Amino acid sequence: MHDYELFAYDTKDEFLDKSRRFWNADKTQFWQDTGVDLVIDRREGYFLWDMEGRRLLDVHLNGGTYNLGHRNPEIVGAVRSAMDHFDMGNHHFPSLARTALAEKLVDTAPQGLTRVAYASGGGEAIDIAIKSARHATKRRKIVSLIKAYHGHTGLAVATGDDRFTKFFLSEQDEDFPHVPFNDLAAMEQALAGGDVAAVIMETIPATYGFPLPDPGYLEAVKELCVRHGSLYIADEVQTGLMRTGELWGITKHGIEPDILVTGKGISGGLYPIACVLLGQASGAWLDEDGFAHMSTFGGAELGCIAALKCLEITTREETRAGVHYIADTIGAGLAEIAAEHPGFFTGIRQNGVIFGLEFPGPDGAKHVMRELYELGVWAIFSTLDPKVLQYKPGILMTPDLSEELLDRTSMAIARAARAMRTQRKAG
């Protein structure tokens, strides 16, 4: 019996059956078919436990939601203490917690970002960013990248790949043109008409497997935006919060975005909240009509408290130093593993503790994912490029845990490489 007080399941199989019946049949079945029978039960630090008790080292982190680990004790403590005074709050009125978090975000933001609007999740935050850009420029078009992903909500989904738009008839080709990543000529052509409200890009496209921008590419896009009167929206939902070794990945390029979006890890995975940092032009609507966008749960006060503590932890000098140590240690270790499997482990995309590991074939990362899972590590293939494994160590990982991760990764890749050689011989 697995008893959680308000609900209980006799067995894992019983739970999975009900998950298919009452929640999401396809997603539940997909993971069973993939060989990953994970049902997350207990979680602590950088570990999670399956319902049947098996421990996994988490280097997926739910897209960076758990940068600071699952149930980080400092954030748990801050939220517990806050519950003696705060709740969700009321979205109509000035808020102590929202204002405190907004001030902290502005203090840590790139130059020119002076206001904050709140959402309950990253997709909604992207919607706010798009609406803000349209209001500021009085233009409709939003340029994004082919193979992009910025969320599943109404406007956000239109910026993403066909994988997410066509299923629900959400294509808006005229207002949402897409251009290839690292193709500056295509970007210039898209902006040349002078009718684009904003360009939106992740600093490193996550769902596409973390392909790295060419030297000078992002800087040149920003220059094109300035030249053609378009705003630059930096989607830092997955690349922000010290994952690149800087609080905001965009600052490594010397770019001052007009709008910056953060989410996922901003509250340590304890309360849904996302934030949109706005400049003078993009945030003008907050002076004109502060009721133009409303979100009942956006900027929930308990979430603001969690986010304040998250920012405090993330901006500590020891955290920054630790990220650089982890990046160097794991980067060097992965390079050694790749050298041992030159025909199989074909590339490493790295910026800080953001890693995309490349393997052969259209879905090579799926094989490595399964071997890692069998060896007690959870990482996931990139949805829009399944030959790339998303591999995201936590920013507070200890040296011992980093070594354990590398050892298990080395074994998993060796096993996956052997399996591929066996398949080739049999074929």
Written as tens digits, the pLDDT of the chain (427 aa) is 889 999 999 999 999 999 999 999 999 999 999 889 999 999 999 999 999 999 999 999 999 999 999 999 999 999 999 999 999 999 999 999 999 999 999 999 999 999 999 999 999 999 999 999 999 999 999 999 999 999 999 899 999 988 888 888 888 778 999 999 999 999 999 999 999 999 999 999 999 999 999 999 999 999 999 999 999 999 999 999 999 999 999 999 999 999 999 999 999 999 999 999 999 999 999 999 999 999 999 999 999 999 999 999 999 999 999 999 999 999 999 999 999 999 999 999 999 999 999 999 888 899 999 999 999 999 999 999 999 999 999 999 999 999 999 999 999 999 999 988 877 777 6
Dist CA 11 CA 252 (whole Å): 49
Which DSSP letter does residue 259 get?
Answer: E
Give dist(CA 210, CA 105) in Å, integer: 25
Residue 284 host element (H or E): none
Whose tokens are 């004109």? That residue is 288
Tell me the chain's radius of gyration from C-alpha atoms.
22
**CATH domain 35-64+318-426 topology:** Aspartate Aminotransferase, domain 1 (3.90.1150)
> What is the residue type of 320?
R
Query: Helix (H, G, I), strand (E, B), or coil: what is residue 148?
Result: coil
CB contact at 8 A, 199 and 187: yes
CB 180 within 8 A of CB 186: yes
Alpha carbon distance 195, 90 (integer Å): 37
Cα–chain-centroid distance for residue 269?
12
Please tell me whether residue 403 adopts helix, strand or coil conformation: helix
Tell me the residue type at 227.
Answer: R
Q: Retrieve residue 332's tokens.
A: 């060097």
Token representation of residue 389: 């494994």
Q: Outline which parts of the chain fall under CATH 3.90.1150.10.
A: 35-64+318-426
Q: What is the pLDDT of residue 388?
A: 97
Residue 104 structure tokens: 């902290």
> Within a 10 A sphere around the Cβ of 361, how many other Cβ atoms?
12
Residues of the chain with CATH 3.40.640.10: 74-314
Tell me how far apart the alpha carbons of residues 368 and 374 are, in angstroms, rounded to a whole number.
Answer: 10
Residue with tokens 């970002």: 113
Q: How far apart are the C-alpha atoms of 96 and 114, rounded to whole Å?
A: 17
Q: What is the pLDDT of residue 427?
A: 65
Quote the CA–CA distance of 264 and 195 in Å, as a whole number: 32
What pTM does this model have? 0.96
Torsions phi, psi for 50 (to 5 deg): -65, 160
Q: Name which CATH class applies to 74-314.
A: alpha beta
Q: Which pLDDT does position 168 carry in this prediction? A: 87
Q: Which is nearest to 310 in space by CA: 241, 392, 249, 396?
A: 241
Cβ neighbours around 367 below 10 Å, total: 24
Strand-pairing partners, residue 278, are 115, 259
Residue 206 and residue 236 in contact, taking contact as beta carbons nearer than 8 Å: no
Which residues 6+ apart lie within 8 Å of 26 measured at CB?
none
